[in-house]
Structure 1
């Protein structure tokens, strides 16, 4: 008998999940319930007439398995708890919920003896959760890094390839459906941070609170920065990384310079890429489209099929996880510092004095032609130094009187 599926949410992802189940028609899955607020405006004629449309979450619990694609923390957490307490497995795409409350929800699912699967919460259709949990489980992973947000990657690669200003690239991303009307979670790194916390739990056995992970915006990146990055044989990407280093954990989400030879530099458009680094297997890469209705729906339906094919067997146990005793951001790196100034004598000397005070060595000073006395961009690259020293130097630099726009400081990754 087909596994009956109750769907919480009928937006872009929910409709894609429903369509995949209906069109597969393989006897393993059957869509039986759809929940959404104001359900009358959501009805479509391609959904079978046997499906129950409802505005009551309780009705969906009549299905064998519940799919949640609404998102957010509340009331989604209560819905998950109610389904688990009713003995219903859950498949979710809710990254914020799993990043923030995943530990408690997975423990609840284990107590009830039912599945809580969340492949769709990270990387869209990329099977990275299953890959980390099963495919390379024999390794001892120490790092997980990559490009986890398709919206930011689309914006940055359009700035790079078409020479667009940030606002123009964002408007284009919104016009093509790659960015929300309010793109804050993407641009500020909150979306990627939630995904990184999920990957840390699955791959490294770490329970990280999203609020503890340093997070930086891409909003201050300009088209000038891609010109200078190219001179440095590099480009700019929003990079997420968590690593176990000795007895501490380092994590960061934010823009960084990456060399053109890096796999990260070759990720374009809304694609995602995740690299897991292990003690024995070294690097394993997962890549594909990380956003959009159908890629995400593929991950949801794959989780549903895993439950259906197990035919009621006990779910596989999740390994134990722990909270890190120490969580810090990036500790040491070379840096790229872009300034836009009103030209006057003594600028370089003033900056050099601040760097010397904090034991930071200048690597090079770069200046493209075409600036004016009133708006002169240039870049200083700095040798590897402690992040704490760079942060202190930057505070002093920001007080100098010649800035036209705030300085931009990015780590340079190997």
Structure 2
């Protein structure tokens, strides 16, 4: 058996602790698989005295005060960066790569913003920069795209990439709760942070989607060009109407090649009940990949948590132990293509509209006239009950329409005196059925 592979783990939070436990439980199995021991040489965490419930697993392991010092430790062969963010984490990754050390990271924000520069640094150093754990927890979607789908042209990928938002929408659908109540429940259970903005506003999913899209289409995705919309405006009423119409509301990340360029967008969507993604619930993630030779493949599993994410981290470490090394985006940086980003205004698809209107004659005629003027065709219209002179909800499902026209219509409808609040629009995504 060759020399052990010595890890330096930066960050001993949920994932870092999970990785220590995994290695403690399966060290012998991993040695058999790789032909060498995988050991923890050093760690870095904010509080050395904190009881992390790791028993004696870190006995004899060196502690560093900061992640950069850990990366520079001569006894560390691989930096495992589990801190997150773009500050000290970036400094530590850059330090490790500059010394020719491979890096394993779960940091989607870092790679979404600085992945291209770090990929170049890794290639110059001739080492791996692996990030399976940065997307979809324990689901091996990065490995699938880089290796399993290498013989395919990817036409589209889409999925549920944030477990917190998916849990909230699932809870709202199951109980009829408001967004605020479901969010409070998710926070009480530890599924949502005290500040849940990155999750419920779609930013976390957008970070992950930009990485997957760059990998799938072999072209760097400018994160600032990704369309991002969260779930704060989704109501129990929308979820009820969705069910009546045969849909489930999910927040999706979608990357699709079109005649206008590459669509990369995150937003709530109406998903047909008969599709696999409609039944990915709770904190689970689901990813669908469409290739020209494999057609459609569906991946589902836990998108976060100590065990699933540590499993993904270890998969990357095992690749390094075996001497496997692939470019960050599947091809070297100098072979990456350039692809135009399609504006959300060019999206073509059906839409769900919900308006709160004054119940009086002529209101529906005014709304229909605006839709007619903007060339928006109505597939169906729902209005429940009568309340003359008072507010009632009206739901309209459109045929396929260009987004720009739909937005113009929404602005005009919102300006009507009889429309009492900004209209809600949720895009309907026509996904192949399972």
Q: Name the TM-score, length of structure 1 as normaliser.
A: 0.95
Paired residue secondary structure (2:322):
helix
Map of 1:363 onto structure 2:
379
Structure 1 residue runs without a partner (length 5+): none
Map of 1:306 onto structure 2:
319
Q: Select the residue among 162, 168, 179 that pairs with 2:192.
A: 179
8 Å contact from structure 1 (residues 35, 60) kept in 2 = no
Structure 2 residue runs without a partner (length 5+): 32-36
Q: Select the residue among 333, 349, 353 that pairs with 1:333.
A: 349
Cα offsets for 1:193-229 (capped at 9, x unmatched) = 1111110111111211222111112110111111111
Taking structure 1 as reference, are residues 307 and 230 closer, same or farther at Cα in structure 2, changes over 3 Å only?
same
**Structure 1 range deviating more: 287-296 or 372-381:** 372-381
For 2:281 and 2:372, how far apart are their aligned partners in 1?
39
Q: Select the residue among 107, 120, 123 that pairs with 1:94.
A: 107
For 1:32 and 1:342, how far apart are their aligned partners in 2?
68
> Does structure 1 residue 9 correspond to structure 2 residue 19?
no
Map of 2:39 onto structure 1:
30
Map of 2:21 onto structure 1:
19
Map of 2:394 onto structure 1:
378
Cα offsets for 1:363-397 (capped at 9, x unmatched) = 22112348785442221111111111001111111
For 1:100 and 1:268, how far apart are their aligned partners in 2?
29
Map of 2:255 onto structure 1:
242
Map of 2:338 onto structure 1:
323
Cα offsets for 1:50-75 (capped at 9, x unmatched) = 11122132134321101111111122
For 2:236 and 2:216, how far apart are their aligned partners in 1?
35
8 Å contact from structure 2 (residues 138, 309) kept in 1 = yes
Cα offsets for 1:290-344 (capped at 9, x unmatched) = 111221111001111111122xx6x234313233234322511111001123433
Paired residue secondary structure (1:170):
helix
For 1:225 and 1:193, how far apart are their aligned partners in 2?
23
For 1:59 and 1:240, how far apart are their aligned partners in 2?
35
In the TM superposition, 1:159-174 aligns within 5 A as: 159-174=172-187
For 1:344 and 1:61, how far apart are their aligned partners in 2?
72
8 Å contact from structure 1 (residues 398, 407) kept in 2 = yes
Give 1:10 deviation, angstroms.
1.4
Map of 2:58 onto structure 1:
48
Map of 2:423 onto structure 1:
407
In the TM superposition, 1:116-135 aligns within 5 A as: 116-135=129-148
Cα offsets for 1:69-119 (capped at 9, x unmatched) = 111112222211111001111000000111111111111101101110000
Taking structure 1 as reference, are residues 372 and 93 closer, same or farther at Cα in structure 2, changes over 3 Å only?
farther
Paired residue secondary structure (1:39):
coil
Map of 2:34 onto structure 1:
none
Q: Name the TM-score, length of structure 2 as normaliser.
A: 0.90
Give 1:41 deviation, angstroms.
3.3
Taking structure 1 as reference, are residues 229 and 61 closer, same or farther at Cα in structure 2, changes over 3 Å only?
same
Taking structure 1 as reference, are residues 372 and 98 closer, same or farther at Cα in structure 2, changes over 3 Å only?
farther
Paired residue secondary structure (1:76):
helix
For 1:374 and 1:21, how far apart are their aligned partners in 2?
63
Give 1:253 deviation, angstroms.
0.6
Q: Select the residue among 246, 267, 286 that pairs with 1:254.
A: 267
For 1:51 and 1:350, how far apart are their aligned partners in 2?
72
For 2:429 and 2:314, how far apart are their aligned partners in 1?
36
8 Å contact from structure 2 (residues 71, 95) kept in 1 = no
How many residue pairs were aligned? Answer: 411
For 1:260 and 1:101, how far apart are their aligned partners in 2?
38
